[in-house]
Amino acid sequence: MKTLLVIDGNAIMHRAYHALPPFKTRKGVPTNAVYGFFTMLYKAIQDFNPQYIAVAFDTPAKTFRQKLHKKYQAQRPELSDDFRLQIPIIKDLLKHAHIYQEEKAGLEADDVIGTIVVTSKQKDLKAIILTGDKDIMQLVDKNTYVVSPQLGLSNVKIYDEKEVKEKLHVEPKKIPDWKAIAGDPSDNYSGARGIGPKTAANLLNEYGTLENLYAKLKTLKNEKLKQILTDQKENVLLGKKLSLIVTDADVAFTLKKSEFNGFPQELKEQLGKLEMRSLIERFFNVRPPAKPKKKQDKKSDQINLF
């Protein structure tokens, strides 16, 4: 099977920005998010050899989730100026790399990713989603995997259906129902207050879906849980709407547009302007000139034995 690599642009930019020190070019242009983003992109290409690549981004426009719930993600801090300055640089470099990128006003990057992945399922592809966001795990199935960066930029964790179940205690397709009950502090909605993630998972493993749980709520023996679910039903149903990823957005994605055939030379020039020599060496196999060897003493020779 051919492979489609889909990158959660905002999640990976944030990961890169916070993983690296705030280095800049000689002209003072911040580049740590840029460098980290393309380092992870390169690693993903080396690891998974994709024939197609797409990058999805959020937009500054208010999303339908923020319209549904005014407090949605309201607690998140403002972007720093150094980070904000690097977003258009990353997008411009992707353009010079001939890598397809997509965003849609009113939607999050997750929704663009969901639409791209569902569209690709019709083409008998393996989809690899590079993100740090567990919400996207609801898209995982037998041909769709989530790759999540761990500490730093070099290590990743691959989630298939089994790994998602082990981590969250529910199947991928049940994640929206699970979040609807348990809530999500990172997105700032409560779900059913008083019911935690473990209990939410147990309820769904017993009843299957949120809708079936409410249809058979009278059969629930735990009176306390029954009362919470009854009292918090409005919050729970809102949580389902907020957590469910859109998979039928109106985006321009096609496999043809996302074909990846290696990095073009024009990207090399742009990376040079940003003084990213190490990325040029990796992307284009350009080796720096060899340095003359220094005479080593016996102590150095012993260290080299290890």
Q: Tens digits of per-residue pLDDT, 77-128? A: 888 999 999 999 999 999 999 999 999 999 999 999 999 999 988 778 999 9
Supply the pLDDT for residue 298. 40
Domain ranges of the chain: 3-160, 172-243
The pLDDT assigned to 132 comes to 87
Question: DSSP 3-state helix, strand, coil percentages of the chain (rounded to 5)?
Answer: 50, 10, 40
Residue type, 56: A
pLDDT tens digits for range 180-199: 999 999 999 999 999 999 99
CATH fold, domain 3-160, is: Rossmann fold (3.40.50)
pLDDT surpasses 70 at 293 = no
- Judged against a pLDDT cut of 80, whether residue 154 lies above it is answered with no
Instruction: Return the closest-CA partner of residue 165 out of 125, 117, 204, 126.
Output: 204
Distance of alpha carbon 82 from alpha carbon 34, whole angstroms: 11
pLDDT at residue 304 above 50? no
Q: Are 117 and 129 in contact (CB under 8 A)?
A: yes
Phi, psi of 303 (to 5 degrees): -60, -40
Residue 60's pLDDT band (boundaries 50, 70, 90)?
A: very high
> pTM score > 0.75 for this model?
yes
Interacting residues of 280 by C-beta distance below 8 A, sequence separation 6+: 268, 271, 272, 286
Q: Which CATH number fits domain 172-243: 1.10.150.20, 3.30.230.10, 3.40.50.280, 1.10.760.10?
A: 1.10.150.20
Q: Mean pLDDT over residues 42-49, rounded?
A: 94
Looking up tokens 């199935």 gives 141
**Contacts of residue 209, Cβ cutoff 8 Å, sequence gap at least 6:** 174, 177
Q: So what's the pLDDT on residue 305?
A: 26
